[in-house]
Amino acid sequence: MSTFQVDKEKTLNAALFILTKLGACDYHKVFKILYFADQFHLKKYGQPLTGESYIAMPYGPVPSFLYDVFKAAEKGNSPFKEAIELSRQFIVKRDGKIPVVSAYDEVNLDELSESNIEVLTQALRENKALSFEELVSKSHDEAWAKAEQQQDTEISYLDMAKVAGTNEEMLKYISLNAENSSSNLV
């Protein structure tokens, strides 16, 4: 599987960027916009925006690290000390059964490159008006389905890139970048 190391600062600031543009919204919308931004970045630049591990869940891909941070903000606790510390950048309130997240801190644009802002803006433009059901349908792409079928809950970055229509040369480049990223974890 092609994996990358999550860039936590970039992920948090990408979420803050999304929330700054959208205002308070449910986790689902933030997660799907981030997923599509990662897809766009893979296709155009050969590496993901965040390096997040996207998990194939019933309502679509969920970024694992950001989910832990949002849950820590919602509950005020977490088994992950880091999630509690980082969760202070967000406010989560319940709207009935739905947790709604908003930005507490300002986005640090120094953490986002021009290409990051470009794909986040594109993902926002294409997905901000979509309903919950439309986002579920759109994010239940072949990459999500493959992870779901194989009961391998983590969605492959190569599969995400293929779904986005990435050419073979770029797919090889992504694979090489993933190998280099995972070898840096050792």
Which of 2, 8, 7, 57 is closest to 31 using CA atoms?
A: 57
**Per-residue pLDDT, 95:** 81
Amino acid 96: pLDDT = 86
In order of 45, 126, 167, 180, the CA distances from 22 in angstroms are 25, 13, 32, 35
Domain boundaries, the chain: 8-183
The pLDDT assigned to 6 comes to 93
8 A C-beta contact, residue 151 and residue 49: no
Closest CA to 14 of 42, 35, 44, 28: 35
The pair of structure tokens assigned to 108 is 């640090």
- DSSP letter assigned to residue 97: T
pLDDT in the model for residue 19: 98
Retrieve residue 154's tokens: 């983590």
pLDDT tens for the chain, 186 residues long, are 457 889 999 999 999 999 999 999 999 999 999 999 999 999 999 999 999 999 999 999 999 999 999 999 999 988 888 999 999 999 999 888 899 999 999 999 999 999 999 999 999 999 999 999 999 999 999 999 999 888 768 999 999 999 999 999 999 999 988 888 766 544
Query: Can you give the pTM of this predicted structure?
Result: 0.94
**pLDDT of the residue at 152:** 65
Specify whether the CB–CB gap between 155 and 147 falls below 8 A.
yes
In this prediction, residue 186 carries a pLDDT of: 43
For 48, half-sphere exposure in the C-beta direction (CA atoms, 13 angstrom radius) is 31
Which residue intervals of the chain are DSSP H helices?
Answer: 8-22, 27-45, 64-75, 81-86, 114-127, 132-139, 142-149, 157-163, 168-183
Give the DSSP letter of residue 156: P
> Count of residues for the chain?
186
